[in-house]
Structure 1
Amino acid sequence: MSSQIRLRLLPGVRCLFDEPIQVKVAGLRPRQVVSLRARAKDEGGLEFRSSATYKADGSGFIHLDRDPSLGGSYVGVEPMGLLWSLKTNSLHRRFKLDSSLKPFVVKFSVHEGEGEGRMLAEASNERFMIGEGVSRVPLKDGSFDGVLFTPPGKGPFPAVLDLSSYTFERRASLLANKGFVVLALPVMTVKDQRVIEMHLDHFEEAVKFLLQQPKVGSKGVGIISHSKTSDVAASLATFVSGIEAVVMINSCCANTILPLYYKGQHVLPGLMFDMEKMPVLESGAGVSKYVFNNPLAEENKSTLIPIERAKARFLFVAAEDDLSLDSKTYMDILVERMKHHGKKNFECVSYPGAGHMLEPPYGAHYASSYHRAFNRLVLWGGEPRMHAAAEVHLWKKVQEFFRSHLSCGDLQTKPKL
């Protein structure tokens, strides 16, 4: 490596996972062509890599927030391109970063020329899930298994229930950094038993638990959900009190697969699917977008969630290149149903080019992986650049939505590293 060439990560080498960084290179020859690379391992040990070719300016500088990539994993001006274009060579493997305990470490490097040239400089970026002062408390002794994240300070803070299909702490911990008390709760894991039916009572206990937390000041809780968990979120807002704001990301308009119960009563049957309607590509991955039965067909209308009964505010989100679920059509059905009943307590946003797995920004985009419910490999969809832009926009919108509808006095300053 050359001591004259410097690779800088600003504002520092340590930051929160959802914070952008500036990547700058200095000390190059005027107009020198180099390759910038990033490599990282997810918590499963799977390696992800990206690279892009840049040309220095007349003073030997490269600024990724100003200069275009000339080729590689992406082209054009993309300040965070080396992160969102991270990709593994292993087929159909997802980017696994479910825990909040360890930082995601990305190693950046500068190399001669466009290929496998000599390394000229390198730097590491530690991207943390939990900011200073945020507490993480696992809950495994009560009626539900989850993890509670609480911001530093006295509060009062708004409360959010983060529903995920399986264990996933990243989104909840990052929201706690922004000044929310968040309970991360998987819906498909109940005391290590196989889930064959869904009971809203289980989630009602979680809502009550959140509202009893000493730092919580909101009158009700918010819910953030994705895919199958949005069935649960919409049903909770419909049948259970104490919920003020709900984010539904790439969801169905009906209760899917599992029958739904509340207080011992069967409230909604599950909308079923037909695997014969899933085309399978040569890679072995299927497209599950249209496998569910038509929820508007007469025989399936009983699965539709009567969301118009809910008093909460809703944010409906749909990715238009979702290959796992026909989320844009389902969102349109939800909107039409609300309008038909004269309801105005909702807003919606859709993202062209985005796929099913909309998550907090700056993680690696993955196009396919194993689907547990369908027990097979599926495509998730999404053009990487547009998907990454959608995640940045949605993450800000989610926070603004909750702040607008879960207000409880002045929010505390968000934690820093």
Structure 2
Amino acid sequence: MAFQLIFPNHRAKSKLAEKRPVDSGEMSSQVRLRLLPSARCFFDEPIQVKVAGLRSRQVVTMRARLTDEKGVVFSSSATYRADGSGEIDLKRDPSLSGSYVGVEPMGLLWSMRADTLHKSFKENISFNPHVVKFSVHEGEGRMLAEAANERLLIGDGVSLLPIKEGNIQGVLFTPPGEGPFPAVLDLSSFPSEKRASLLANKGFVVLAVAVMTDKPDNVKEMHLDHFKEAVDFLQQHPKVGSKGVGVISRSKAADIALSLAAYVPGVEATVWINGCSANTVIPLYYRKRQILTPLPLDLSKLIPAESGAFIIKDSFQNPLAEENKGSLIPIEQAKGRFLFVASEDDLHFDTKAYMEEMVERLKRHGKDNFESVCYPRAGHLLEPPYVPYCPSSVHGFAQQPVLWGGEPSSHAAAEVHLWKKIQEFFRTHLSCDATQVS
């Protein structure tokens, strides 16, 4: 049966819609800062920021501030000029200077930077919202108005359940209702559940599993069987109606996702984001034998940058070199569909070249089970939209800060486009059969 039942979490939406726009005039009796359509929304939803009650053509500074679960403060600021009526609308008006310039409706969010170097935003997955404080100031001085934006990662009715079963260690997110729902295995290189919780809000049963659950130095081999257990777990879940499972991944996790698609039955749709076409760093085993050798990482080839971070891209060997061909993942034997996503300014992997090589290989084998998208001026860390852009942070394997690449505005636009594309891809290729749900 064609899948038609996957929609955003309307129950959560309706509750959010009941919230009224915030009006804050406490700092000044005239100035009002409004967040539309609501001051409470999901993390991946845009808002419209408007200011009224200013003097005609008045120049003000707008700021945003957010504290993550580690206590790191992220902030941004931008200078705006009011129109003749004393109003500013970020959807219409350009920032003149500051963290970004030009018309960027969500610029105050994605341009937020950490107050210390080499930090990425760390989310705490809970039912409590992350609060972004927006404010309007006279120049750099007196606050004229402020408003709080409550950004939720989990909607009403979505359940969160830690899973420790066999070799599976992860977190299961289940939408409200009986289903049937399509199933997605969200693989991250290191523990992270933000993307999984947001997909569950859209009507997917999602199991978030980290590829690395120990320090990389302690991991001498990796077993695909452990991730097959996660695929089987999802297929047997009573609310799952899709005949196969989707897999979403990025970076090191992306080569595990390709390996699942190539070797494990039941993987119907694989999203590969800024990964490698080969198995990287750690040998991969399946059914008690080694199936892929590791593509080496040579940390002596790290290139230092002015910020104190390093460029790691040249530290990976060429997977097409004769001595590394045992690490190439045989995706040509996969039965499911692929969505390949490459950022052209990825400073971690030569992602575009890897993607082009995989596309050519599939074509040579007479395959057309793929689509690809390339984002100019975007960096390695493509996330769900409206997360603070991260230029550099500590690399899990190198244990040094590395540059991720990307021009912030283009990177943010890529995240908005990709997030919609991921959902469309899974809805198209993970058909649901109501008879499979008990």
Aligned to 1:267: 291
1:169 to 184, 187, 193: 193
Aligned to 2:182: 158
- Which shifted more, 156-165 or 100-109? 100-109
Distance, in Å, in 2 between the alignment partners of 1:335 and 1:193 is 33
1:246 to 267, 270, 285: 270
C-alpha deviations, 1:281-327, integer Å up to 9, x for none?
23321111121111111111111001000011000001111111111
Aligned to 1:131: 155
2:39 to 9, 13, 22: 13
Distance, in Å, in 1 between the alignment partners of 2:222 and 2:128 is 32
C-alpha deviations, 1:360-397, integer Å up to 9, x for none?
00010011111121121111111100000000000000
Aligned to 1:284: 308
Q: CA deviation at 1:253?
A: 0.6
State the TM-score, normalizing by the size of structure 2: 0.91
Distance, in Å, in 1 between the alignment partners of 2:44 and 2:112 is 15
**Residues 39-188 of structure 1 mapped to structure 2, 5 A cutoff:** 39-97=65-123, 99-113=125-139, 116-188=140-212
Contact 1:145 1:190 in 2 (8 A): no
- Which shifted more, 91-100 or 47-56? 91-100
Q: CA deviation at 1:190?
A: 6.2
Aligned to 1:312: 336
Contact 1:145 1:191 in 2 (8 A): no
Aligned to 2:20: none
Contact 1:100 1:173 in 2 (8 A): no
Contact 2:243 2:433 in 1 (8 A): no
1:284–1:192 Cα change, 3 Å: closer
Distance, in Å, in 2 between the alignment partners of 1:118 and 1:263 is 66
1:358 aligns with 2:382: yes
**SS of equivalent residue, structure 1 residue 290:** helix
Aligned to 2:412: 388
Distance, in Å, in 2 between the alignment partners of 1:309 and 1:102 is 44
Aligned to 2:247: 223
Provide structure 2 residue ranges, at least 5 long, that are not aligned to the other structure.
1-26
Aligned to 2:24: none
1:378 to 382, 395, 402: 402
Aligned to 2:259: 235
Contact 1:15 1:127 in 2 (8 A): yes
Contact 1:98 1:167 in 2 (8 A): no
Distance, in Å, in 2 between the alignment partners of 1:299 and 1:50 is 48
Distance, in Å, in 2 between the alignment partners of 1:367 and 1:279 is 16
Amino acid at match of 1:361: P
Aligned to 2:58: 32
Aligned to 2:7: none
Q: RMSD of aligned C-alpha atoms? A: 1.5
Aligned to 1:293: 317
State the TM-score, normalizing by the size of structure 1: 0.95
Distance, in Å, in 2 between the alignment partners of 1:162 and 1:98 is 17
**SS of equivalent residue, structure 2 residue 303:** coil
Amino acid at match of 1:85: S
Contact 1:189 1:195 in 2 (8 A): no
How many equivalent residue pairs?
A: 408
Distance, in Å, in 1 between the alignment partners of 2:232 and 2:216 is 23
- Which shifted more, 85-94 or 242-251? 85-94
**SS of equivalent residue, structure 1 residue 334:** helix
